[in-house]
Amino acid sequence: MPKKKPTAQFSHAPLRKEPITQTLKQNFMPYAMSVIISRAIPEIDGFKPSHRKLLYTMYKMGLLTGGRTKSANVVGQTMRLNPHGEGAIYETMVRLARGNESLLHPFVDSKGNFGKVYSRDMAYAASRYTEVKLDAICQEVFADIDSDTVDFTDNYDNTTREPVLLPTAFPNVLVSANQGIAVGMASQMCGFNLSEVCKTTVAYMKNPDCDLLETLPAPDFPTGGELLCERDEMRALYDAGRGSFKVRARWRHDPKEGVIEIYEIPYSTTVEAVIDTVGKLIKEGKLREVADMRDETDLSGLKLTVDLKRGADPEKVMKLLFQKTPLLDSFSCNFNILVAGTPRVLSVRGVLEEWCAWRRECVRRRAFFQAGKLKEKLHLLYALQKVLLDIDRAIRVIRETEEETDVVPNLMIAFGIDEVQASFIADIRLRNINKQYILKRVEEVSALEAELADLQDTLKTPSRIDRIITDELKAVDKKYGKPRKTLLIYGHTEEKVADTAEDYPVHIFLSREGYLKKITPLSLRMSGEQKYKEGDGAYLQWDGSNRDEILVFTDRQQCYKARLHEFDDAKASVLGDYLPSKLGMDEGETVVFACLPGADYSGHIFFFFENGRAARVELSSYQTLSNRRKLTGAYSGKSPLTKALVLREDCEMAVFTSDKRCVVFHTASLEPKTTRGTQGVGVVSPKRGQRVTDAKPSDRCGILSPARFRVRTLPAVGAAVKPEDIGEEQLTL
């Protein structure tokens, strides 16, 4: 008999149950806090941990004063502090580089292709092709780092040390733009002009209640542009630490070439986003005065060229571009900063307060460190003073000592000095034991004592520390300050530009299958019979204007909005535009009704459903403030739609059922609704298995005596329609 295969034995251990709150506390909260504290939110020095680790690595590599090195070399060295992969490290370097133009004052002096912040598709070169070093402004970042101004901590594997913060001599947190998305919170820091920030900080230290807008009028961006500045809005943003403002592109008109040149765009958009939007608008016929737009950016800087059609007004075209493209964009601010490990949304004044307090501590620690070094030096020089009194005795003590280890103890006994001083005396070279050398060194004592006294006075006097900080800020401003790049526009009023489409009368024809034709009166008079697809035919017709809006309703209770000028002028001999394709409808969606709402959206739409209910919805319910192209829930979907029509005035309606019954009622008996999805009220009570098949105004339904079918209360079953009730129906298109 064949042997049976052994079956696996599984131990079914009982599942451990624990509250969801405990799981979140043990697993999710540590991750969330790590992202908030160690990754996404900048600290008071203006840097995220990834920025700090990269710059400190470059500083330790000697790239502050030396020549450039390959970026790949820096990336590899940074992995000792930042173990998140070379791709993430290099992307951090790219954003800090001068070539990328992301910052007003970049920290990395770059050589090679680092892409551009204003381009989405311009990729930066690989790290093996580019070279970097620290920019000159980093001298103000690392000047005091070796003077115990900031704390150091172990790196992730405890093999080296790294700074917790960088002792920036200026409020970099306000100068460098920064953004980050953490868990449950985010930070969006806009950049300010360095010179304005330094002046504002000096003014704040002199008077904490000063008006910040006097010296810090608005943010500044490396891509320039024009900031539409309102003092009240900017003051509210400064006070709350949250808010938004609008930035638009700068442009010039070249009348000889007939083009508009855009040479600065908002910081929050890209060249490709602008070109894509303009191209779409041209294709849809919404920018009829623009022929084309192209990117002519070169080594001299950004340039987008807009080709104008003959006779186009450049001012009007730019207003349209600002209105419909990212050339005018909003920038949102959220001054969320880590202060002592705690995320806080600070006002601009609050940021200055926290930075000044932190910088005072840095200067105090630097003075204390320098005082300690002076004390150590003076301590050694005091020993030299004692030796100066009897140099020969010091030489004799050393010569008469048999063991080397006894030299220091014997000097300590002979001159009454401590071990450190004795070691210093013993280590003096033979050529330096002459009286001239020792006298020169001893003469330094008085100067060092005066310097030490000055440092100790600085530590005791807060006003002197503030004076040191303000002097450093003025020096930074003088050395690195630049004129602001973003122009401020005050008193701007946003003007909505009217539709540029030409206004002329048109006739609109809609077929049963959803083909729409827009025909001018002249073309209609010269044309023959309307052409339709086989099996298709006329459904609706209107007279309107080329600028009119059209509402298209579908079998899926959706309403699509469009302008007639978006459709090309056609002839009677063509099929027209297929609305499901033209309006981007969902797959399988078909047109059931359409109308021209008019400029004021006056009147009502009446929806008649198969179940006998009718809904009267105000046309204004479909009016939107924004340029929405699609509205969902355009009408009730509880029952299939039989008929829809627009009425500007109340009248009598005749509703027909499948069993040849009719109900005539006055539309005033239906209460208007503003809710588009209303189910309406019962008008007809169809018998079992029957449904509503049509609805028309009573004067156009072909019934000779509507009074026989008129009802007082709704819903009603209606009266049967006899052959003698029907006269010759009116012909309608």
Q: Are 110 and 126 in contact (CB under 8 A)?
A: no
For residue 104, the one-letter residue type is L
End-to-end CA distance of the chain: 90
Coarse DSSP helix, strand, coil percentages of the chain, rounded to the nearest 5 percent: 35, 25, 40
Nearest-angstrom CA–CA distance, 559 and 623: 11
> Is the backbone of residue 666 left (phi > 0), alpha (psi -120 to 50) or beta?
beta
User: With 0-12 CB in 10 A as exposed, 13-18 as middle and 19+ as buried, what is 138?
Assistant: buried
Nearest-angstrom CA–CA distance, 589 and 558: 9
Nearest-angstrom CA–CA distance, 703 and 726: 5
- Centre a 10 Å sphere on the Cβ of residue 662 and count the other Cβ atoms it contains: 23
Nearest-angstrom CA–CA distance, 197 and 605: 59
Whether 129 is a known active-site residue: answer: yes
For residue 420, the one-letter residue type is V
The 8-class DSSP code of residue 660 comes to S
For residue 552, the one-letter residue type is V
State the virtual CA torsion across 130, 133, 138, 144 in degrees, nearest 10.
140
Nearest-angstrom CA–CA distance, 116 and 139: 25
Q: Which of 451, 445, 645, 435 is nearest to 540 (CA)?
A: 645
Three-state DSSP state, 451: helix
665 φ, ψ to 5°?
A: -145, 165
C-alpha distances (whole Å) from 478 to each of 127, 134, 218, 471 are: 34, 20, 20, 11
Q: Which of 31, 129, 490, 504 is catalytic?
A: 129
C-alpha distances (whole Å) from 639 to each of 432, 663, 685, 687 are: 109, 19, 14, 16
Measured in residues, the chain has a length of 733
Q: How many Å is the Cα radius of gyration of the chain? A: 41
Q: Which of 224, 52, 73 is nearest to 141 (CA)?
A: 52
Residue numbers annotated as active site: 129
